[in-house]
Amino acid sequence: MHNLVIDIGNSFAKLALFYGSSIVKTYSFRELGPQQIEEFLEGEKISHSILSTVRSEVEAIEAYLSYISTYLRFSINLKLPVKVHYKTPSTLGLDRLAAVIGASCVFKNTNCLVIDSGTCITYDFVDKDRNYYGGSISPGINMRYRAMHSFTGKLPLVEFKPAFNEKNGFDTQSSMMSGVQNGVIYEAIGFIEAISREYTDLTIALCGGDFNFFDTQLKNSIFAQNIRTVPDLVLIGLNEVIKLRND
């Protein structure tokens, strides 16, 4: 039997079907309800399911998952494979927590910095003993572009172009691109450098919608050999919670 993992974020709902620790398939929906879940499963029977969500109105989804499986709502109050030392655990983003859990299981006995680049960019560190104290949250790439356009009188709304690779802009648009896209990479390198001073055996795990951009840019840095891309790290973490519950 399979496990169904669902992560409802700010922009998309991501679904994954697991067999043990292996991902069978994944899919993303802008809007999610029982019909979309049924279409995704294609008649496949599941034994357990878990839902992580930033939205409050998910009653229909929860009712459906409870009907077709042993259902679990992801929260900080569950038995977890990491030791959470966050001072306000009730405010901790579930996607951050799930990514840290995923990293601690994929990279066992390893100090790991998770860089999750989506609507926001989060930097979360979990040590080799699975201690998680917290991390940092900063605006994502598209959020930065929208902010410059919204909070100024003349700056245009610029589209994110991952292939842009100039250190300095030559007009207003390219200057904005240089500031945003170089800025997030310099920011990431700064966090990596700071943690590497204390933990020399550091693995950097990249996930989130813009992980390819970070992977390409950071591969040109001195940390290239420490970088691993795990796009489905959040989903992997949620599946680990199901497995722990069943052990």
Rounded to an integer, the average pLDDT of 155-171 is 95
Rounded to an integer, the average pLDDT of 118-122 is 94
What the block records as the tokens of 96 is 């951050």
For 159-181, give one letter per residue: b (16+ CB within 10 A) or e.
Answer: eeeeebeeeeeeeebeebbbbbb
What are the backbone dihedrals phi and psi of residue 49, each rounded to the nearest 5 degrees, phi first? -140, 155
Q: Side-chain half-sphere of 56: how many Cα atoms within 13 Å?
A: 0
Domain 2-73 matching CATH 3.40.50.740: the answer reads no
Q: Give 184-238 pLDDT, tens digit per residue.
A: 999 999 999 999 999 989 999 999 999 999 999 998 889 999 999 999 999 999 9
Q: Side-chain half-sphere of 99: how many Cα atoms within 13 Å?
A: 28
In the predicted model, is pLDDT for residue 123 greater than 70? yes
For the chain, what percent of residues have pLDDT higher than 70?
A: 100
Q: Give 25-82 pLDDT, tens digit per residue.
A: 999 999 999 999 999 999 999 999 999 998 888 999 999 999 999 999 999 999 999 9
Distance CA 96, CA 76 (A): 11
Fold: same for 2-73 and 83-233? yes
Q: Which CATH architecture has domain 83-233?
A: 2-Layer Sandwich (3.30)
Decide if 129 is catalytic.
no
In the predicted model, is pLDDT for residue 1 greater than 90? no
In the predicted model, is pLDDT for residue 247 greater than 70? no
Rounded to an integer, the average pLDDT of 8-32 is 93
Q: Give me the catalytic one of 7, 95, 124, 210.
A: 95
List the domain boundaries for the chain: 2-73, 83-233
DSSP 29-54: ESS--HHHHHHHHTT--EEEEEEEES
Q: How much is the pTM?
A: 0.94
Mean per-residue pLDDT of the chain = 95
The pLDDT of residue 125: 97
